[in-house]
Amino acid sequence: MMMRRIVLLAPNGQVGFELQRSLAPLGQLFCLSRADVDFSDTAATSARVLALQPDLIVNAAAWTAVDKAETEQDAAYLLNAALPAALAAIARQQNCWLVHYSTDYVYPGTGEQPWREDDVTAPLSVYGASKLAGDLAISQSGARHLIFRTSWVYAARGNNFMKTMLKLAAQRETLSVVADQFGAPTPARLIANVTALVLQQLLLQNDEHSSDKSGVYHLAAAGYTNWYQFADAIFAMARQAGIPLALQEQQFSAITTAQYATPAQRPANSRLELSKLEQTFGLTLPDWHSQLAQTFNEYYSAVSGS
C-alpha cells in the first residue's frame, strides 16, 4: 500500500505544532515552515507544495495579528486569502483534500444565539474580512475541502491569552478584563486531534461518499464563557497549583469592550453551533473548562519541570 503524502504548512505555530503530532499516523508528513518558504509569495509556496505531490494539504498558516491587520491589510490578505486560494487550486488539480482553519470573526457578533455555518457573514474587522475571503475562495474553487472555523485559540506554548494572563497576574496587583464578549476558549490540541479524527474517516471512504462532506464546519470546545470568566478560571488553577500571583483577588475586575479600546472591533458573540461537525462525523466536543484544565496542566508541567 502506497503511503499517503501529507503537506502541512506552518508546523511551528500553536495549531501547526499540535498537527505535527496528530497527523503523523495518517501518512508521510512533509512540513513547510516560514523558514522554508515565504507564505506571502503564493507562487513560490505553490511550487514547493506541488513539488511534494500531496495527497492531502493542511494549511495552518495565517495572519493572526488582528489589530495590525487594520493597517497592514495587504499582508493580511496575502496570507488569509491569496494563499488559501492558491492551495485550493492545487488541491483541485491534484484531486486531494485541503484542510484550512478559519475564525468566528467572519460573523457580525450580534445577538446571543450560537452561529451556524450557513448564517450570514459580516466581519467587523480587516482580519475577519481577510479570513472570509479565504473561506470563499476555497468554497468556490471546486476542490474537496474542510474549513474549520474555530474561536479563542490558545495552547501550552506560543503567545496566547492563557499565558498572557498568567504573566500579567504574576506582575500586577490589579487587572481588568473584558466581560461582554462571549465564546469558547479552544485549545490547539483539540483542533489538531479533531482534524485527525475527521480526516481518518474521510480518507478511509471512497471519493464518492467522502466528497459529500466537503464544506465549512465549526470546531471549538463546547459551552461558552467570557474573557473575564476565562481569566478567573486560569487564575484559580494557578493558585491551586501553588503558582505565586501578585494579583489580588479583590483587585481583579470586569470591564466592558467600550472601556478597552482596540484598533480592530471584536465580535461580542462568538458562540459557535457545533452540531454539524458532531453529527456528520460522530464526535462529541468536550467542554471548554475541562480542556482548560488539560492545557493548563501541560503548561504547568513544562514550566515547573514536573
Q: Which H or E element spans position 216?
A: strand 215-218
**Which residue has cell 492545557?**
295
56, 61, 66, 72 alpha-carbon torsion, rounded to 10°: -120
Estimate to the nearest angstrom the gap between the alpha carbon of 208 and the chain centroid. 29
Query: What is the pairing mode between strands 182-183 and 225-226?
Result: antiparallel
Estimate to the nearest angstrom the gap between the alpha carbon of 238 and the chain centroid. 24
Closest to 165 in 3D by CA, of 223, 238, 105, 225: 238
Q: Is 127 a catalytic residue?
A: yes
**Sign of the dihedral defined by the CA atoms of residues 173, 174, 175, 180, in that order:** positive
Out of 77, 101, 105, 127, the active site residue is 127
Estimate to the nearest angstrom the gap between the alpha carbon of 280 and the chain centroid. 20
Which triple of cell numbers denotes residue 63?
495572519
Cite the active site residues. Answer: 127
